[in-house]
Amino acid sequence: MGKKSKRKQVLVCCGTGCIANGGLDVYQAFKNNPGGLFELASSDDIKATGCHGLCSSGPFVRILPDDITYCQVKAGDVEEIIEKSIKGNELIKRLLYRDPQSKKRVQNLEKVAFNSMQLKKALRNVGLINPESLQDYLDRQGYQALRKALKMKPEAVVQEIIDAGLRGRGGGGFPTGLKWKACQATTSTPKYIVCNGDEGDPGAFMDESIMEGDPHNILEGMLICAYTVGAAKGFIYVRDEYAGSVAALTKAISDAREHGFMGDNILGSGLNFDIEIVRGGGAFVCGEETALLASIEGNVGEPWDKYVFPTEKGLWGQPTVINNVETWSNVPLILLEGAKKFASTGTAGSKGTKVFSLVGKVVNTGLVEVPMGTSLRDIIFTIGGGVPGKRKFKAVQTGGPSGGCIPESLLDLKVDFDSLGQAGSMMGSGGMIVMDDRTCMVEVARYYLQFLAGESCGKCVPCREGIRSMLEILERICNGGGCLQDLDLLEDIGETVKTAALCALGRTAPNPVLSTLKYFRDEYLEHIVNHRCPAGVCKELSEFYIDAELCNGCGLCAKNCPVDAVQGEKKQPHVIDNSKCIKCGECINDCQFLAVKVR
């Protein structure tokens, strides 16, 4: 970095979460050059970066080299930041992050528990570089891995990936190197490289943040693979909802072409490779690789039977390597630091790190990247800061709709591909949704089944009919019409679908039902036998009331009730008028004294 490192740099987080909270306005305010900012810095030193990770406290402004991070910044704060912290050396205390544990204001966000337990590998550049700038990427060893690979034999590159023990980050966990090797061994041409950026798991945005925040990294990973297997054409399949990702990747591809990293005779090596972006159509099943390939070809996204793997017969019947975004972003790193170093992190069966989107009922929501083998407890309580308010942790859901819910008793589980599978859940692409006692596990199972019923492509009977039948039963239970035999029936259908469905979507679809039945059977029984939803979510089965002994009459719930159903004098216990109540739960969420209860 040389002389550059002495100059002040301003990094403004413009990830999805921060944009929703006004991140772009903050960035624009810096760009407007108030108070002659650019006398100190060139406009290149004001960067709109990808996601910083701790989305719940955004928008972030990070000032380098002093490493000051301000959070929840508003456009109106910008002038003050420039005067005090960029021109001067003063800290603005009120904008510093308040560590939830020590209650102290912290200057350097890297040192708080949220960050200090993390290990950024796939996300190594996200939040530090301007994703639109090729130069920024080059400054951080960008395309060095490609140069290195081009000097190696293709077989040696594949061996490096095999030795690193990299497994597919999209959920399957298939060894990436073996996939490449299989494709390398085929003689049929042309061959294709595909990046799966159809991040369909509701509650997950890891891939989005990489595509948006470090697009060249993905391109470099694909280029390296193209060299090893001998492919000339690549596709990146992106969800259409991710407008920011499409824009960032488009810019990155055109910049890479212009500078000789893509196109014909790349870096004078004789390698020809180009990448095209395909926008997805919003179908969850397209995250399944064969369905995704069908979609690229211009068909409806129905999966096909994998008697023959895509590495042999994939896109248009030709050999195809398809990997997930996060997998691709690990590839350049393996080449740079070597397989040995990469494999030194992680567990016996799962090497390296994994990015999770830690969301739901947890204090620090955002993106976290931890070594494989980190315990769920560390992720949720140390990094995530636990469940907000006085609520109680109930479960963590991993693996998206195909995953399962893990109860408190298993929180010391070391997270990797194999351990989560054994617990009845799965790694999936890395969604991690924390649930507290206000979450109804029966309703969660119903939610996932409803989702999957809508996303089942309908090609095979077990998935199409099985999911629908399970959904009907769960709806019945949530509405108070369930009977005890329903539970056996659910397990029965679940096992059948698991065994007989055509693709991974169907085979994993019963997981949410089976795992909640296994760990939270008492909640099912409560719904069926006592006609009561303990979490107060199933509207037919819950009625709210205020515990007069706990209520101190602060009036917050009465003020926030959208239908004026809460009444009472100030400082006197309040009551809920159940004829008006729409059971939205606002009062429960508001009450600091846990006085609002479910009957």
Instruction: Considering the complex, state which of residue 59 and residue 172 has its C-beta at the smaller distance from another protein.
Output: 59
Closest CA to 122 of 155, 168, 162: 168
Quote the least distance from Cβ 580 to another protein, whole Å.
13
Alpha carbon distance 278, 535 (integer Å): 42
Instruction: Considering the complex, state which of residue 350 and residue 511 has its C-beta at the smaller distance from another protein.
Output: 511
Residue 503 makes CB contacts below 8 A (sequence gap 6+) with 285, 288, 290, 291, 303, 306, 460, 463
Quote the least distance from Cβ 514 to another protein, whole Å.
17
Quote the least distance from Cβ 282 to another protein, whole Å.
4
Residue 361 makes CB contacts below 8 A (sequence gap 6+) with 387, 388, 391, 393, 434, 435, 436, 438, 439
Q: Do 358 and 367 touch, CB atoms closer than 8 A?
A: yes
Closest CA to 333 of 164, 514, 585: 164
Quote the least distance from Cβ 522 to another protein, whole Å.
19
Instruction: List interacting residues with another protein (CB under 8 A).
Output: 16-17, 19-21, 55-56, 58, 199-205, 208, 240-243, 278-284, 295-301, 357, 359-361, 365-366, 397, 400-401, 431, 433, 435, 439, 444, 447-448, 451, 457, 560, 562-563, 582, 584-586, 589
Quote the least distance from Cβ 209 to another protein, whole Å.
8
Instruction: Considering the complex, state which of residue 267 and residue 556 has its C-beta at the smaller distance from another protein.
Output: 556
Q: According to DSSP H, which parts of 111-193 are helical?
A: 113-116, 134-139, 144-151, 154-164, 176-185
Alpha carbon distance 440, 537 (integer Å): 6
Instruction: Considering the complex, state which of residue 180 and residue 451 has its C-beta at the smaller distance from another protein.
Output: 451
Pairing of strands 431-436, 393-398: antiparallel
Instruction: Please report, for residues 100, 348, 408, 446, the alpha-carbon distance to residue 377 in angstroms, rounded to integers and kept in the order given.
Output: 17, 20, 9, 26
Closest CA to 205 of 465, 485, 16, 446: 16
Quote the least distance from Cβ 589 to another protein, whole Å.
8
Instruction: Considering the complex, state which of residue 395 and residue 490 has its C-beta at the smaller distance from another protein.
Output: 395
3-class SS of residue 468: helix
> Which residues lie across from 407 on neighbouring strands?
395
> Which residues lie across from 271 on neighbouring strands?
266
Structure letter (DSSP) for residue 82:
I
Q: Do 327 and 161 touch, CB atoms closer than 8 A?
A: no
Instruction: Considering the complex, state which of residue 86 and residue 433 has its C-beta at the smaller distance from another protein.
Output: 433
Quote the least distance from Cβ 288 to another protein, whole Å.
14
Instruction: Considering the complex, state which of residue 220 and residue 523 has its C-beta at the smaller distance from another protein.
Output: 523
For residue 57, the tally of other CB atoms under 10 A from its CB is: 25
Instruction: Considering the complex, state which of residue 149 and residue 285 has its C-beta at the smaller distance from another protein.
Output: 285
Instruction: Considering the complex, state which of residue 287 and residue 319 has its C-beta at the smaller distance from another protein.
Output: 287
Quote the least distance from Cβ 37 to another protein, whole Å.
28
Quote the least distance from Cβ 265 to another protein, whole Å.
25
